[in-house]
Protein backbone atom coordinates (compact mmCIF):
# COMPACT_ATOMS: atom_id res chain seq x y z
CA UNK A 1 0.00 0.00 0.00
CA UNK A 2 1.25 3.46 -0.93
CA UNK A 3 -0.22 6.65 0.60
CA UNK A 4 0.24 10.18 -0.76
CA UNK A 5 0.14 12.98 1.82
CA UNK A 6 -0.38 16.41 0.25
CA UNK A 7 -0.09 19.73 2.06
CA UNK A 8 -1.22 23.08 0.74
CA UNK A 9 -0.12 26.69 1.17
CA UNK A 10 1.53 28.00 4.33
CA UNK A 11 1.78 24.57 5.94
CA UNK A 12 5.56 24.85 5.40
CA UNK A 13 5.36 27.48 8.19
CA UNK A 14 3.92 25.08 10.78
CA UNK A 15 5.64 25.51 14.12
CA UNK A 16 5.99 29.29 13.74
CA UNK A 17 2.61 30.08 12.18
CA UNK A 18 -0.16 30.97 14.68
CA UNK A 19 0.94 28.28 17.17
CA UNK A 20 -2.17 28.92 19.28
CA UNK A 21 -4.19 27.49 16.37
CA UNK A 22 -1.80 25.12 14.61
CA UNK A 23 0.56 24.05 17.41
CA UNK A 24 4.35 24.08 17.61
CA UNK A 25 5.06 20.90 15.69
CA UNK A 26 6.72 21.48 12.31
CA UNK A 27 5.69 19.80 9.07
CA UNK A 28 9.04 17.97 9.06
CA UNK A 29 8.23 16.59 12.56
CA UNK A 30 4.83 15.40 11.34
CA UNK A 31 6.41 13.76 8.30
CA UNK A 32 9.02 11.99 10.45
CA UNK A 33 6.40 10.61 12.85
CA UNK A 34 4.17 9.50 9.96
CA UNK A 35 7.11 7.73 8.32
CA UNK A 36 7.73 5.79 11.53
CA UNK A 37 4.09 4.75 11.81
CA UNK A 38 3.82 3.90 8.12
CA UNK A 39 6.93 1.71 8.36
CA UNK A 40 5.44 -0.06 11.40
CA UNK A 41 2.24 -0.69 9.45
CA UNK A 42 4.27 -1.94 6.46
CA UNK A 43 3.08 0.75 4.04
CA UNK A 44 5.02 3.19 1.88
CA UNK A 45 4.24 6.87 1.63
CA UNK A 46 5.15 10.13 -0.01
CA UNK A 47 4.80 13.48 1.76
CA UNK A 48 4.71 16.77 -0.18
CA UNK A 49 3.91 20.44 0.36
CA UNK A 50 3.26 23.21 -2.14
CA UNK A 51 2.15 26.81 -1.99
CA UNK A 52 0.95 26.53 -5.58
CA UNK A 53 -2.55 25.34 -6.52
CA UNK A 54 -1.47 24.00 -9.92
CA UNK A 55 1.29 21.88 -8.43
CA UNK A 56 -1.17 20.27 -6.02
CA UNK A 57 -3.57 19.62 -8.93
CA UNK A 58 -0.75 17.97 -10.90
CA UNK A 59 0.22 15.77 -7.94
CA UNK A 60 -3.40 14.65 -7.52
CA UNK A 61 -3.58 13.82 -11.24
CA UNK A 62 -0.34 11.81 -11.06
CA UNK A 63 -1.62 9.79 -8.09
CA UNK A 64 -3.76 7.55 -10.31
CA UNK A 65 -2.11 4.13 -10.50
CA UNK A 66 0.74 5.21 -8.21
CA UNK A 67 -1.02 5.60 -4.84
CA UNK A 68 -3.86 3.74 -3.12
CA UNK A 69 -5.06 6.63 -0.97
CA UNK A 70 -4.51 10.40 -0.94
CA UNK A 71 -4.56 12.29 2.38
CA UNK A 72 -4.83 16.01 1.73
CA UNK A 73 -4.61 19.09 3.91
CA UNK A 74 -5.44 21.57 1.16
CA UNK A 75 -5.15 24.47 3.66
CA UNK A 76 -6.68 27.66 2.23
CA UNK A 77 -7.37 25.99 -1.14
CA UNK A 78 -9.93 23.84 0.71
CA UNK A 79 -12.23 26.84 0.66
CA UNK A 80 -11.54 28.12 -2.86
CA UNK A 81 -10.32 25.48 -5.28
CA UNK A 82 -12.74 24.04 -7.82
CA UNK A 83 -9.62 22.84 -9.67
CA UNK A 84 -8.54 20.65 -6.77
CA UNK A 85 -12.05 19.29 -6.34
CA UNK A 86 -12.20 18.42 -10.05
CA UNK A 87 -8.79 16.73 -9.91
CA UNK A 88 -9.85 14.58 -6.92
CA UNK A 89 -13.05 13.56 -8.78
CA UNK A 90 -11.12 12.84 -11.97
CA UNK A 91 -8.52 10.49 -10.51
CA UNK A 92 -10.92 8.43 -8.43
CA UNK A 93 -8.23 7.60 -5.85
CA UNK A 94 -9.93 7.46 -2.42
CA UNK A 95 -9.09 10.76 -0.72
CA UNK A 96 -9.23 11.78 2.93
CA UNK A 97 -9.51 15.50 3.75
CA UNK A 98 -7.72 16.64 6.88
CA UNK A 99 -7.19 19.82 8.89
CA UNK A 100 -5.22 20.55 12.02
CA UNK A 101 -7.84 23.00 13.28
CA UNK A 102 -11.59 22.51 13.49
CA UNK A 103 -12.58 24.56 10.43
CA UNK A 104 -16.23 24.46 11.53
CA UNK A 105 -15.55 26.36 14.74
CA UNK A 106 -13.54 29.12 13.04
CA UNK A 107 -14.43 31.99 10.69
CA UNK A 108 -17.47 31.39 8.52
CA UNK A 109 -15.46 31.34 5.27
CA UNK A 110 -13.64 28.24 6.57
CA UNK A 111 -16.88 26.30 7.20
CA UNK A 112 -17.28 25.46 3.54
CA UNK A 113 -14.95 22.90 1.98
CA UNK A 114 -15.11 22.64 -1.81
CA UNK A 115 -13.35 19.28 -1.70
CA UNK A 116 -15.41 17.61 1.07
CA UNK A 117 -18.07 16.31 -1.31
CA UNK A 118 -15.56 14.33 -3.37
CA UNK A 119 -13.59 12.95 -0.41
CA UNK A 120 -14.29 9.77 1.55
CA UNK A 121 -14.46 11.81 4.73
CA UNK A 122 -12.98 14.64 6.73
CA UNK A 123 -10.82 14.69 9.87
CA UNK A 124 -10.47 18.13 11.45
CA UNK A 125 -9.58 19.62 14.80
CA UNK A 126 -7.09 17.16 16.26
CA UNK A 127 -3.91 19.13 15.59
CA UNK A 128 -1.06 16.96 14.32
CA UNK A 129 -3.10 13.91 15.36
CA UNK A 130 -5.38 14.60 12.38
CA UNK A 131 -2.52 13.22 10.25
CA UNK A 132 -2.16 10.03 12.32
CA UNK A 133 -5.91 9.48 12.41
CA UNK A 134 -5.90 9.85 8.62
CA UNK A 135 -3.19 7.20 8.35
CA UNK A 136 -5.39 4.85 10.40
CA UNK A 137 -8.39 5.69 8.19
CA UNK A 138 -6.31 5.06 5.07
CA UNK A 139 -5.23 1.63 6.37
CA UNK A 140 -8.85 0.72 7.05
CA UNK A 141 -10.03 1.95 3.66
CA UNK A 142 -7.55 -0.35 2.01
CA UNK A 143 -8.51 -3.40 4.10
CA UNK A 144 -12.27 -2.73 3.78
C1 LIG B 1 -6.11 24.34 7.73
C2 LIG B 1 -7.38 25.17 7.88
C3 LIG B 1 -7.54 26.16 6.73
O4 LIG B 1 -8.72 26.93 6.88
C5 LIG B 1 -6.35 27.09 6.69
O6 LIG B 1 -6.43 27.95 5.56
C7 LIG B 1 -5.03 26.40 6.73
C8 LIG B 1 -4.88 25.22 7.57
C9 LIG B 1 -5.86 23.42 8.95
O10 LIG B 1 -5.08 22.49 8.82
O11 LIG B 1 -6.43 23.65 10.03
O12 LIG B 1 -4.06 26.86 6.15
O13 LIG B 1 -6.25 23.50 6.59
Phi, psi of 45 (to 5 degrees): -155, 160
Q: Catalytic annotation on 132? A: no
CATH code, 42: 3.40.50.9100
pLDDT tens for 90-120 read 998 999 999 999 999 999 999 999 999 999 9
Atom from ligand 1 closest to the CA of residue 75:
13
pLDDT tens for 5-47 read 999 999 999 999 999 999 999 999 999 999 999 999 999 999 9
Q: Which residues line ligand 1 (CB under 6 A)?
A: 10, 73, 75-76, 78, 99-101, 103, 110
Calpha distance 63→120 (Å, rounded): 16
- In 10 A of CB 96, how many CB atoms? 23
Please tell me the total count of domains within the chain.
Answer: 1
Maximum Cα interatomic distance, the chain, rounded to a whole number of Å: 40
Range(s) of the domain holding residue 80 = 2-143
pTM, to two decimals: 0.97
Q: Catalytic annotation on 77? A: no
Residue-level pLDDT at 138: 97
Amino acid sequence: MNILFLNGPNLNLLGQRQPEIYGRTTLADIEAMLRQQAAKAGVTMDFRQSNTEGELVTWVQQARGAFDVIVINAAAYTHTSVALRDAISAVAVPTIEIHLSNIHSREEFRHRSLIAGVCKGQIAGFGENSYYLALQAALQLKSA
